[in-house]
């Protein structure tokens, strides 16, 4: 294998295990979006993009930080505005958006993409996720991004940007006014927010004022909706609510349970693979070992651990399909596993009482 290929392969493997700083990720996403806008009409765009990424990775060692988001982005297939309108999931989402906010009918679709599926050939199966970005004309025009579950059609996340005047962005409003803005977005795109208890609190962010709002059902410990308000942007994610995981706090932060990984590690298949009870795994993690290290001590590979957890998480998503699910769809399962693997990797390599 040529030395360039060996270096490229090594850096890609290393990059897949590294976390890109959020600020760098944002700049990469913006650059990539601009590139796609310029090149969308050219059929050879994807091949040339991949070639450019490989070249950058070979020549710039620090480009390894950029690889994880880029790896995710190059797996996305760009869509034209016409393809969005022809796609059943995209069409339904646009109709809901237009009914909720009639002014968005005049907005331009400035970016759209899919993971999985083929927007030019519906026989290739459903996409796992479809993302659509619409913007009002003007440098600071109103902007909306919708991330849709390609299987269920649900809006998994919505970003509403620049809907308040630049001189008085949403973060400058009173707490009650901010909550009203978030309530309005939930009411119009998801359903009534009134049945949820809302907890609003500032985040410890010294660089920019940020609020987090958790909407939780009575008796539930996991938020159904979670909203972040920063600058002139409101971002809402559909979490789904539900009870706390069967085992809490596999990881700790400052001596308190860190629930980030609980949904991934409460996995009967994982416990079976490791030949451990949940309590035993929690006890070993408390000693400072990662799941990968615990598995290695038992001659179990990182890939085996990742396959088990990613498979469980993918099946959960497929079974959540209210239309019957594609439980026998191996292609869908494999696509979902591939999308989930970077998240699983972060969890199984993490060590308790260390920052994420």
Q: Report DSSP letters for 160-200, one per residue.
A: EES-S-TTS-GGGS-HHHHHHHHHHHHHHHT--STTSEEEE
**Torsions phi, psi of 130, nearest 5?**
-120, 130
Mapped onto helix, strand or coil, the DSSP state of residue 216 is strand
H/E stretch holding 36: helix 22-39
* Of residues 49, 115, 35, 72, the one with CA closest to residue 332: 115
Decide the pairing of beta strands 197-202 and 210-216.
antiparallel
Enumerate helices (H) and strands (E) in the chain, giving the number of each: 13, 11
CB 160 within 8 A of CB 101: no
Q: Report DSSP letters for 304-347, one per residue.
A: HHHHHHHHHHHHHHHHT-TT---TT-HHHHHHHHHHHHHHHHHH
Q: Can you read off the two tokens belonging to residue 303?
A: 């890939």
Query: pLDDT value at position 74?
Result: 47
Positive or negative: CA dihedral 304, 305, 306, 308:
positive
**Torsions phi, psi of 256, nearest 5?**
-115, 150
pLDDT tens-digit map of 292-314: 999 999 999 999 999 999 999 88
Query: pLDDT value at position 263?
Result: 82
Q: What is the pTM of this model?
A: 0.61
pLDDT tens-digit map of 213-232: 989 988 787 788 989 999 99
CB 257 within 8 A of CB 248: yes
Mapped onto helix, strand or coil, the DSSP state of residue 297 is coil
Tens place of pLDDT per residue across the chain (356 aa): 555 455 555 555 555 555 555 555 555 454 444 444 444 434 333 333 333 333 333 333 333 333 344 445 446 788 999 999 988 899 999 999 999 999 999 999 999 998 766 666 666 666 778 899 999 988 789 999 999 987 778 898 999 999 999 999 999 999 999 999 999 999 999 988 998 999 998 876 667 788 989 899 887 877 889 899 999 999 998 877 776 667 888 998 778 777 778 888 999 999 999 999 999 999 999 999 999 999 999 999 999 999 999 999 888 777 765 554 444 567 777 877 877 788 889 899 999 988 77
Positive or negative: CA dihedral 298, 337, 62, 8:
positive
Give the C-alpha separation, 84 to 150, whole Å: 12
Count the neighbouring beta carbons within 10 Å of the beta carbon of residue 17: 14
């Amino acid at each position: 294998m040529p030395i360039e290929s060996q270096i490229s392969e090594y850096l890609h493997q290393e990059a897949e295990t590294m976390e890109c700083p959020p600020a760098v990720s944002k700049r990469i996403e913006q650059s990539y979006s601009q590139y796609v806008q310029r090149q969308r009409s050219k059929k050879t765009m994807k091949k040339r993009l991949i070639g450019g990424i490989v070249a950058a990775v070979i020549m710039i060692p620090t480009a390894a930080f950029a690889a994880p988001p880029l790896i995710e982005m190059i797996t996305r297939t760009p869509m034209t505005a016409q393809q969005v309108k022809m796609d059943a999931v995209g069409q339904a989402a646009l109709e809901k958006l237009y009914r909720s906010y009639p002014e968005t009918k005049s907005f331009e679709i400035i970016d759209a993409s899919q993971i999985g599926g083929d927007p030019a050939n519906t026989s290739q199966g459903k996409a796992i996720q479809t993302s659509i970005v619409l913007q009002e004309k003007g440098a600071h025009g109103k902007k909306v991004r919708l991330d849709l579950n390609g299987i269920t059609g649900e809006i998994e996340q919505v970003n509403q940007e620049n809907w308040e005047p630049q001189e008085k962005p949403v973060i400058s409003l009173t707490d009650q006014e901010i909550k009203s803005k978030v309530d309005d977005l939930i009411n119009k795109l998801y359903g009534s927010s009134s049945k949820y208890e809302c907890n609003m609190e500032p985040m410890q962010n010294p660089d920019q004022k940020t609020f987090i709002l958790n909407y939780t059902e009575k008796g539930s410990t996991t938020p159904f909706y979670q909203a972040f308000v920063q600058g002139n942007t409101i971002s809402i994610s559909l979490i789904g609510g539900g009870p706390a995981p069967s085992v809490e706090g596999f990881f700790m932060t400052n001596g308190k349970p860190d629930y980030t990984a609980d949904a991934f590690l409460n996995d009967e298949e994982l416990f079976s693979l490791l030949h451990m009870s949940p309590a035993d795994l929690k006890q070993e993690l408390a000693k400072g070992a990662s799941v990968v290290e615990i598995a290695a001590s038992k001659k179990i590979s990182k890939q085996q651990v990742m396959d088990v957890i990613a498979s469980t998480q993918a099946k959960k998503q497929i079974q959540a399909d209210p239309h019957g699910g594609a439980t026998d769809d191996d292609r869908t399962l494999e696509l979902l596993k591939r999308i989930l693997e970077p998240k699983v990797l972060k969890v199984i390599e993490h060590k308790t009482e260390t920052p994420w």
